[in-house]
Structure 1
Amino acid sequence: MKPKLSLSEGLFHFPGYFQRTEQDVLVDSVRDVVAEAPLYVPVMPGTGKPMSVRMTNCGPLGWVTDKERGYRYQAAHPITGVPWPAIPQILVDLWREISGFDKDPEACLVNFYGDDAKMGLHQDRDETDFNAPVVSVSLGDSCLFRIGGLDRKDRTSSLRLESGDVFVLGGAGRLCFHGVDRIYPGTSTLLKNGGRINLTLRRVNP
């Protein structure tokens, strides 16, 4: 499938990359991950303010945040202390097909958005290697995705991400600010109780 080059160099949108049967497989894989590494509510560094999403991870490393130590990657779940489960093969295959990077992902962040959840503009910059892209998969209800430039004050653009879409931030767009402004409840029947799952594949180390 050819990507739709969107917004600026290095930003690629693959609408409908995963068909419904593949999305069902992905959801089952996420359920297996959550059974081993339960969803939890992360909090902001310094303030301890809870985020509006619930999250977990899979892979050798997982992205976490807390009041005391802030944003970082670590090898175990912050609540259970158990190592993260492996990244499902279907996601490793996705990375190998579209990332253009010669090493496999080390982390897959799983974010669950309820109807009212949002994600403010941010950069994915806690990795030590920015040569690898960030590959994002949308499942469930649609969202309004916003993306800007390399400075928080840069002008932003928005697009709607649907279930099965894949979005890549790489190259010159690897450190673009981005976020989720809103969820559109009831726009997908993929998840029994609604909501949106976002899977973000990342390479942490060189």
Structure 2
Amino acid sequence: MATTLDTLLGEIRACRLCEHDLGFEPRPFVAAQASARMLIIGQAPGSKVHASGIGWDDDSGDRLRGWLGLDKDAFYNAGSIAQMPSGFCYPGKASGGDKPPRPECAPRWHGPLLAQLPNLKLTLLVGQYAQKRYLPKGFAPNLTEAVRKWREAPEGLIPLPHPAWRSRLWMAKHPWFEAELLPALRERVRSALAQNV
């Protein structure tokens, strides 16, 4: 098992646990430095992220940065913001979108990676896969209710919907997200990133 963050990141990037199931060359994505004060746990890299190797390098990333009130320079500063998907590799296409995150990743890599991030003040659980893994069992019956109950989430955790194009439709049905959660989210992000480590 890795003893330093750099060693661990190298092991994650070299991981080939799912190679036979993917049908294409894995390209695990992770971004972290021990000084990070915020962690984004998303779903899995999309095809654009698979091609570029840059997390949230697509329209959903633009939307997420808008929600957070961050520009690209701040968002991609791994010394402040770590990124850890539920599945580290692009899982491939399915009807209606991408396949779910590969199930091997989180059990193998999340615990060791979290142990190397001692300065986290805020973790964003983006999408149902992150929420199912990190919110208490029975916290909410679905993603909408988990996000609606964001004030009741364990300290340091904020559940968010995935910022895919469909989230615009979701936001139109749930105006409280933009009116109540987003201003509080931006303040929590500012506070977490401003704290001295």
Tell me, yes or no, whether TM beats 0.5.
Answer: no
TM-score, scaled to structure 2 = 0.27
The answer to which structure has the higher strand fraction is 1
TM-score, scaled to structure 1 = 0.27
